Copies of this chain bind each other. A is one copy, B any other.
Amino acid sequence: MKQITSEFYNIYFDNTLQSLTDFLALNTYSKIFIVTDENTGKYCLPVLQSKLPQLDTYNIIEIPYGEENKNIDYCIAIWRMLLDFEADRKALVINLGGGVVTDMGSFAASTFKRGIDFIQIPTTLLSQVDASVGGKTGIDMNAVKNIIGTFVQPKAVIISSDFLKTLPLREITSGFAEMLKHGIIADKAYFERLQQIDTVDNVSNDLVFTSVEIKNKVVSTDPYENGLRKILNYGHTIGHAIESWSLNNEKHSLLHGEAIAIGMVCEAYLASKLVKLSNHDLQIICHTFIKFYGKYSLKTGIEQALLSTMRNDKKNNAGNINFSLPDKIGNCLYDIPVTETDIVQSLDFYRTL
């Protein structure tokens, strides 16, 4: 079993889930609550149960699947369940699911009775390489992603590739975008390994481990996002805005990774214009994302809606829209103010690919 030791907790790469058994044996909890969604309740909970037969008493809190449900209404539903089942401060919440479950479940836990313990068991590639590490909790509001949240660390993160086996390819591809991001912002050699993959459905455990290592290194340096951590937002300023727009306007909306893949192309264009990303690196980035994600039909006329969302991005201050932009593959700058004109131009750049 591989393990990454973070400042406040451990990240276990552990298909046996022995680490969870050990954790529960070491800690006394009054009650255990498992937060799932419809899918993870069906596909992942039985896996958990089969590996932890001794975990026989717990309450399940199931939320509907999908980013559109990562909102205050379902958060209230989680709080009410905890209240109805008389969770006290010694209760434990285990979040078993993708980013919606881990983000919202951890926000609910971190604010219930001013904070109870929680464990993250991310079951999608996206949440394994992204949401599970770093202590960010959150829910969306008014189409702004993660606008309400806390910085609170889990007690442990447990990553098992067994859960990925139940995932549709599209979900794997979505998570893969964050891995590419880790390469672009921090590790060129890693990016080059990822580029060469033929199909994403055989992403190895080893690659997941490297991604988590990169993310963990960045967030350990800057847990409250005062500086370096912002580089993880590469692709996310435009990507989040497109994701929110899609969520509210398209029947078959984009997944998170699909949206930030578009965002990373647009922002690579901005990087080439503003922080000297070479044309060569820009081409490689564009080529890679088109290879894995194809071309999204980015509608015209939605620029103002996107900009309005971007103005509420958490990285902004003093009225500027701030970006994290790579100056070369493997390194990233942050707090780069970008004009609205340039942002609109970057969307046009994507459309012309």
Partner-B contacts on A (CB < 8 A): 30, 72, 76, 79-80, 83, 86, 88-90, 110-115, 136-138, 141-142, 144, 146-151, 225, 311-312, 314-319
Contact = CB atoms under 8 A, between A and B. Distances in A.
11 contacts: A79-B141, A86-B311, A88-B316, A89-B314, A89-B315, A111-B148, A112-B148, A114-B137, A114-B146, A114-B151, A114-B314
Majority secondary structure, A binding face: loop
B144 A90 contact: no
A114 B314 CA distance: 9
A90 B318 contact: yes
Given A83-B147, A86-B312, A312-B83, A30 B319 contact: yes
A136 B318 CA distance: 29
A83 B140 CA distance: 12
Given A114-B137, A114-B225, 15 more contacts: A79-B141, A79-B148, A83-B312, A86-B312, A88-B317, A88-B319, A89-B314, A111-B111, A112-B147, A112-B148, A113-B147, A114-B138, A114-B314, A115-B150, A150-B150
Contacts of A314: 88-89, 113-114
Given A79-B141, A141-B80, A318 B111 contact: no
Contact of A142 (B80, B137, B318): B80
Contact of A114 (B30, B72, B76, B150): B150
Contacts of A317: 30, 88-90
Contacts of A319: 30, 88
A149 B312 contact: no
A234 to B, nearest CB: 18
Nearest to A135: B114
Contacts of A148: 79, 111-112
Contacts of A147: 79, 83, 112-113
A59 to B, nearest CB: 15
Contacts of A150: 110-111, 114-115, 150
Contacts of A111: 111, 148-150
A151 B146 CA distance: 20
A150 B137 CA distance: 13
A339 B149 CA distance: 38
A59 B144 CA distance: 21
Contacts of A110: 150
Nearest to A108: B148
A212 to B, nearest CB: 21
A141 B318 contact: no
Nearest to A139: B111
A242 to B, nearest CB: 19
